[in-house]
């Protein structure tokens, strides 16, 4: 083994994990009916790859190589578990299905089926979206816990229980019939939205994992729209993702500094994405049902319209946030609504509209709350309080450029 071969093997394995983890888990889980076992088998396959590839070279089709090894691991695991007389038949059927997959040049993409399996009514409603984020997109419990404002230990335990439930209940891995869709579609959309939000939290796209999340979220959003072209909320989510992603190139200046929306150069926005988002939003508006993602996309559209026309539209923005708050009751929505109220009615009205930590302790470690709170306090002239809020926001922020932006805002406060 040499360091160059080891480095190449590790790089290839990491690239495959980013590109195909969910696809491989979905395929294995659809045949083993056991999400945890599929994850374990694939994990062992990656470990085997890191031992084999530095010595023998990376295979021409690393996904197929991993699936072959994971197939053997999965069958061994089930052989140890199955003790009754039908075990041999079950293992034969499983092995045939996996053998067929390994022989195919293209591994069928069954991520959407796995997402709907994770959204099955047998799974507790509160853990369905986090479960999708882990098994389909490969996020760890800590990152998922951050997205859902909870502790990683509690999230980890709930994820384990949910996977056990899928196996015990024999949840089918398929896209459900139309009459079953409404109860599950919301969870699938929520997980895609949460994944995109995690990717969006890296403004410069410097974190490879988070950058891949935005690409994956856009892909999955399109996949759902292709499957359900008349679902207004699926259209709304895709419009929302496109609107946000269209501004990625303007979120950093040439020095790598963070640039907030109000200061971005619209010439740097991807107007092709924006036009596509507007068309999707218009199409959704004709389908007779308004929901969270259409409202979120409409807010993005309003921000674009304000910059495009130069006309202040904060009354419409606050109205949209009022509607969004009514359907979501999200503290994140409440924070953004307060920022919009500041533009319309001033910082004191905005501070009165901000959610209170006492009412929602999750906000204690939520950086955007403290950043928004600091900005509103500064506008209201409460400079000492603003400075303290900026201290907390800076301490919670992971992105160096955003932290630098907050420090600049803080240092500009009068003393």
Element (H, E) at 98: helix 87-103
- pLDDT for the residue 105: 47
Q: For residue 273, is pLDDT > 90?
A: yes
Residues 354-360: contacts with CB under 8 Å, at least 24 apart: 355/331, 360/331
Sign of CA pseudo-dihedral 326, 389, 344, 285: negative
Convert the pLDDT of each residue in 64-81 to its tens digit: 898 888 888 887 776 655
Residue 261 is given by DSSP the state G
Distance between CA atoms of 293 and 239, rounded to whole angstroms? 8
Instruction: Indicate if the pLDDT at residue 86 is higher than 50.
Output: no
CA distance 189 to 137: 14
pTM for the full model?
Answer: 0.77
Contact 410, 394 (CB under 8 A): yes
Judge whether 167 and 131 are in contact, CB under 8 Å: no
Q: What angle do CA 189, 192, 193 make, to 5 degrees?
A: 85
DSSP 110: -
Cβ(65)–Cβ(59) below 8 Å: yes
pLDDT greater than 90 at residue 20? no
For residue range 346-363, list pLDDT tens digits in order: 999 999 999 988 788 888
Percentage with pLDDT > 90 across the chain: 38
Q: How far apart are CA 235 and CA 219, in angstroms?
A: 13
- What's the mean pLDDT in 265-284? 96
Q: C-alpha 333: how far from its chain's center?
A: 17
Separation CA 168–CA 36 (nearest Å): 12
Residue 60 in tokens: 């021409």
- Angle of helix 383-396 relative to helix 367-379, nearest 10 degrees, comes to 160
Neighbours of 23 (CB within 10 A): 19
Q: Specify the DSSP element, H or E, that contains 17.
A: helix 3-32
Task: Please give the average per-residue pLDDT across 387-408, as a whole number.
Answer: 94
CA distance readout (Å), 18 to 13, 14, 34, 278: 9, 6, 22, 30
The per-type count for the chain, helices as H runs and strands as E runs, is 19, 0
């Amino acid at each position: 083994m040499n360091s160059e071969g080891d480095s190449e093997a590790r790089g290839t394995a990491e690239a495959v994990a980013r590109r195909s983890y969910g696809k491989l888990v979905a395929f294995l889980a659809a045949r083993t009916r056991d999400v945890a076992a599929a994850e374990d088998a694939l994990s062992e396959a990656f470990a085997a790859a890191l031992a084999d590839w530095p010595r023998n070279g990376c295979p021409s089709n690393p996904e197929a190589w991993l699936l072959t090894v994971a197939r053997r691991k999965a069958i061994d695991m089930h052989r140890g578990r199955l003790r009754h007389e039908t075990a041999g038949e079950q293992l034969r059927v499983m092995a045939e299905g996996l053998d067929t997959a390994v022989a195919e040049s293209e591994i069928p993409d069954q991520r959407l089926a796995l997402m709907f399996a994770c959204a099955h009514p047998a799974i507790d409603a509160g853990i369905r979206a986090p479960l999708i984020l882990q098994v389909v997109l490969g996020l760890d419990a800590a990152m998922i816990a951050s997205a859902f404002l909870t502790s990683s230990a509690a999230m980890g335990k709930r994820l384990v229980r949910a996977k056990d439930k899928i196996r015990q209940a024999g949840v089918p891995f398929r896209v459900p019939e139309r009459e079953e869709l409404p109860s599950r579609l919301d969870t699938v959309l929520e997980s895609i939205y949460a994944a995109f939000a995690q990717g969006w939290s890296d403004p410069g796209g410097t974190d490879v994992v988070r950058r891949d999340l935005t690409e994956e979220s856009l892909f999955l959003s399109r996949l759902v729209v292709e499957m359900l072209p008349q679902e207004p909320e699926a259209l709304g989510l895709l419009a929302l993702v496109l609107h946000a992603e269209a501004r990625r190139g303007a979120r950093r200046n040439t020095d790598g500094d963070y640039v907030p929306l109000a200061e971005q150069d619209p010439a740097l926005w991807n107007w092709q994405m924006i036009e596509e988002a507007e068309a999707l939003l218009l199409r959704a508006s004709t389908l007779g049902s308004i929901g969270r993602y259409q409202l979120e996309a409409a807010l993005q559209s309003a921000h674009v319209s304000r910059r495009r026309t130069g006309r202040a539209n904060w009354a419409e923005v606050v109205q949209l946030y009022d509607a969004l708050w009514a359907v979501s009751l999200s503290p994140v929505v409440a924070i953004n609504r307060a920022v919009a109220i500041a533009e319309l009615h001033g910082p004191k009205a905005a501070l009165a509209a901000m959610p209170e930590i006492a009412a929602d302790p999750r906000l204690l470690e939520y950086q955007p709350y403290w950043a928004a709170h600091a900005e509103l306090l500064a506008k209201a002239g409460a400079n000492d309080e603003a400075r303290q809020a900026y201290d907390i926001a800076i301490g919670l922020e992971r992105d160096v450029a955003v932290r630098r932006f907050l420090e600049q805002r803080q240092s500009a406060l009068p003393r």
